[in-house]
Structure 1
Amino acid sequence: MCRVRVWITQRHTKDVKNDTYFCFELDCGMLWLDEIIRMNGYPEETYYVTTDDGYILTLHRIPAGKDDRGPKEGRPVVFVAHGLFCSSADFVVSDPSKGLGYLLADAGYDVWLGNYRGNTYSRNHTYLDPDDQSGGFWDFSWDEMAKYDTPAMIEMILEHTGSMDLQYIGHSMGTSTYFAMPHYRPDLMNKIRLAHLMAPVAYVGHMESPIAWIAGFGNPIHIILEWLGIGEFLPNTLLVDCLASLFCQEGLTQGICSNIMFIFCGFDEPQMNKTLLETVLHHTPAGSSTTTILQYAQEVVSDNFAGYDWGSEEANLQHHGQISPPIYSLSEVTSPVAMYWGLNDWLAAEEDVERTLLELPNLVPGMEIAVEYPAWNHLDFLWAIDADKYVYKPLMENMEKCRLQDCTNL
């Protein structure tokens, strides 16, 4: 719980009509991200970028540390990309001593937190309506995030800061989009000083998540869409209850077994900060399309790292410019890469991570890090009590190494 001075006005209204205010205990989960960052004493700037296909994405910037009085210009730049069901909030809802966004800012970085199409902060388009489930807004998978969203955010950041390059940090789906991006924009590989990929998801043939269970139903797409939602990912209560009974252990902290993200990604109770849980549940799941989930399910069946199959040559031609989905090649990921993975990850199984490692052409020596905690899972990279110890400390050491030297050909 967070003590914060709140003006008694309508929610999100910034205008204050008189000098009366009250102080009371307010759950951080009820605040917008810019308010959370400022409440913790950090500067925040909000930016918007429009993709080539019309989606309006929000980026949150922390340009300096909490007590940093130095110039904000000229700092090394880092872009942080969230994972499945998530948003930029996941990197700053923790205490500043634990939240990755704050740690990076305090270490002297110019921190940019991105949001992919369809989540809480990027639910907007130049003409499509997100409330119209069949109106076109939700006709995307993470292919479009790799093709449009990631490049648009990277280019906007570089243009605004004047930096020649940046470091990239991706988690979960934020690694999938990075792996696929050079298929569409190989030129951007030269703009990435070092890519840090946490819980990397390319191949998913050994996935243990309930997504693999959904994949077992094959192609009765009308039944799957009825369960998961047509357009926006809005699973019905029967499916959530069914998955919870199959995959969620009894006795876990209240709220976990009713939250689809924890059902899909797993839960490491010893590493979960119980006081943070209520805030996390307010912010996640943050929203996405059903086809984003189904793309991973298709990959479980095919055991390929591939684009989403829209079910017909005509639809594939519309989305991919070819009659079949593209097969992504990890050999195209030519930027320097550092990898961080857990040994108890339902989405990024160790066998699949090892296959990915073997195919990456520019993995920096010594930057292949399996977390030294046997039960480390997919979401521990975000909120685990010891995330700073097991992940962020070596990650930031790698950042500093490649900030000081060119890691392209180490």
Structure 2
Amino acid sequence: MLVLLLLLFSHHAKSVDLEFYLDTTEIIKTWGYPVEEHNVTTDDGYILTMHRIPYGRDSPKGSTPRPIIFLQHGFLCSSFDWIANLPHQSAGFVFADAGFDVWMGNFRGNTYSRQHVSLNPNEQKFWDWSWDQIAQFDIPAQIGKALEVSGQSSLHYVGHSLGTLTMFTKLSTDPEFSRYIKSYSALAPIATLKHVRGVFSFLARHFGKDYQEYVTNNGADEFFGNTWLFRKVVKYTCGLFDTLEELCSGITLLFVGTASDNWNQTRVPVYLAHTPAGSSSNIVAHFDQMMSYGGIPAYDMGEERNMEIYGQKWPPQYNFSNITDVPIYLFWSDDDWLSTKHDLKETLFAQLDAEIVKGSYEILGFNHLHFIWGTNAATEVYNRIVDIAAQEDYF
């Protein structure tokens, strides 16, 4: 019935931007940039697709290797995030035009990484993982592939949200991995979620424990995949009239921070056509645990499985003070409701050695999504990273 109503009203819908209908590869081609797709298989069998922009739109291809910059998305997101706006506003295009070999990863379970050597997304076992496994398997597999194809030994890493938590986790549990990272720029960095604000805080307080119990009792499943029906709903609601577009924008901001300057409201239907891109319900339960308990815990699977996996009743805590030898640059905002200043003070600011934190930049007026979708993100963030990478390459 819902689909029928949407189709009946379709002739009233205003046109949406072309990118609403295109995937990451097609969007990159549309803007006149070269693009490649590369697959890599993790050690636990997940087949991940990465997107590469090997050089800029107006750059000669050349034979000299360009420095690699690897972009990793956040929770429920995809490589689309880095090419979501106009070329002069989008990280993937800005970095390519600045002379980088740009790689954009996709974590397991999202739109571009729904394959496994023996499992399929219709099986519950396919979704039985949290961000611990992403840090353990997805991060090294993708970075290893980018280095292999590009013929280089190290790269510059830029992560957003979950893309920061997983890299911090990998570096803290495998200090040797730091040799592959020339610089690490963390956008809206996440370590713990104890002091989140907005809708997520409300949901965690009132439903978090029940959701954790549900996942524990019923097993993992897909969480918010990018479906045909969802895209139709977005198109014929957010894309229907300006008032509904404004409403969709306002609802989105309730989750991430209400700061709305430098936010292109007309692009919201495009953003929502690609996001959410899907993940595991285990990660949501894991986030709920972080909100409830604080700290940086591994996933609590219940006493029996904890004993089996961790050798103890309670999950261990990650300790980011173990990270060494990686130049780290933090980009954060007090207007971000998910990466809060309070949480940063209790974790990253407290645990990271001051010798490796080469820069900590507070970006005024940025909510959690401005770091990837803000119209001034290039000016406030990406151009600084270009300078940071040039400096690290020089030394």
- Partner of 1:174, secondary structure, is helix
Gaps of 5+ in 2: 1-14, 226-242
Structure 2 match to 1:92: 83
Structure 2 match to 1:256: 249
Work out which of the residue numbers 381, 396, 400 in structure 1 matches 2:390.
400
Work out which of the residue numbers 101, 108, 129 in structure 2 matches 1:110.
101
- Structure 1 residues 263 and 316: alpha-carbon distance in aligned structure 2, compared to 1, 3 A threshold: farther
Gaps of 5+ in 1: 1-23, 236-249, 406-410
- Partner of 1:163, secondary structure, is coil
The structure whose residues are more often helix, as a share, is 2
Q: Note if 1:378 corresponds to 2:368.
A: yes
- Structure 1 residues 323 and 148: alpha-carbon distance in aligned structure 2, compared to 1, 3 A threshold: farther
Aligned 8 A contact 1:45 1:60 in 2: yes
RMSD, aligned CA: 2.6
Shift of 1:338: 0.5
Q: Note if 1:357 corresponds to 2:346.
A: no
Q: Note if 1:66 corresponds to 2:54.
A: no
Shift of 1:145: 0.5
Aligned 8 A contact 1:336 1:362 in 2: no
Deviations, residues 81-134 of structure 1 (Å, cap 9, x unaligned) = 1011111100012111110000101111111000001111111111112123xx
Aligned 8 A contact 2:212 2:285 in 1: no
Where do 1:175-324 residues align within 5 Å?
175-216=164-205, 217=207, 219-221=209-211, 225=215, 231-234=221-224, 253-256=246-249, 262-313=253-304, 315-317=305-307, 319-320=309-310, 323-324=313-314
Partners in 2 of 1:121 and 1:275 — Cα distance? Answer: 25
Deviations, residues 134-168 of structure 1 (Å, cap 9, x unaligned) = x2111111111001100111111112212111110
Aligned 8 A contact 1:367 1:398 in 2: no
- Partner of 2:102, secondary structure, is strand
Deviations, residues 312-343 of structure 1 (Å, cap 9, x unaligned) = 32x23555565532211111222110000011
> TM-score, normalising length from structure 1?
0.81
- Structure 1 residues 147 and 214: alpha-carbon distance in aligned structure 2, compared to 1, 3 A threshold: same
Where do 1:109-188 residues align within 5 Å?
109-132=100-123, 135-188=124-177
Partners in 1 of 2:93 and 2:65 — Cα distance? Answer: 18
> TM-score, normalising length from structure 2?
0.84
Aligned 8 A contact 1:252 1:269 in 2: no
Aligned 8 A contact 2:259 2:335 in 1: no
- Partner of 2:317, secondary structure, is coil
Work out the percentage of aligned pairs sharing the same amino acid.
36
- Structure 1 residues 222 and 87: alpha-carbon distance in aligned structure 2, compared to 1, 3 A threshold: closer
Partners in 2 of 1:321 and 1:78 — Cα distance? Answer: 38
Partners in 1 of 2:391 and 2:269 — Cα distance? Answer: 36
* Structure with more relative contact order (C-alpha pairs < 8 Å, separation 6 or more): 2
Shift of 1:385: 1.7
Partners in 2 of 1:385 and 1:26 — Cα distance? Answer: 16
Aligned 8 A contact 2:263 2:373 in 1: yes
Aligned 8 A contact 1:357 1:363 in 2: no
Instruction: State the aligned residue count.
Output: 360
- Partner of 1:102, secondary structure, is helix
Aligned 8 A contact 1:83 1:173 in 2: yes
Aligned 8 A contact 1:338 1:363 in 2: no
Deviations, residues 164-216 of structure 1 (Å, cap 9, x unaligned) = 11110000000100111134432211211110001010022211143333332
Work out which of the residue numbers 319, 326, 330 in structure 1 matches 2:316.
326
Of residues 333-342 and 265-274 in structure 1, the stretch that sits farther from structure 2 once superposed is: 265-274
Structure 1 match to 2:36: 45
Residue type at the aligned position of 1:203 = T
Deviations, residues 218-244 of structure 1 (Å, cap 9, x unaligned) = 633477559x99511149xxxxxxxxx
Residue type at the aligned position of 1:86 = C
- Partner of 1:196, secondary structure, is strand
Residue type at the aligned position of 1:307 = A
Partners in 1 of 2:180 and 2:165 — Cα distance? Answer: 18
Shift of 1:263: 4.7
- Partner of 2:52, secondary structure, is strand
Aligned 8 A contact 2:55 2:96 in 1: yes
Residue type at the aligned position of 2:169 = A
Partners in 1 of 2:57 and 2:134 — Cα distance? Answer: 32
Partners in 1 of 2:222 and 2:254 — Cα distance? Answer: 18
Aligned 8 A contact 2:211 2:285 in 1: no
Residue type at the aligned position of 2:190 = V
- Partner of 2:148, secondary structure, is helix
Partners in 1 of 2:394 and 2:23 — Cα distance? Answer: 35
- Structure 1 residues 115 and 363: alpha-carbon distance in aligned structure 2, compared to 1, 3 A threshold: farther
Shift of 1:344: 0.8
Partners in 2 of 1:45 and 1:317 — Cα distance? Answer: 43
Partners in 2 of 1:288 and 1:363 — Cα distance? Answer: 35
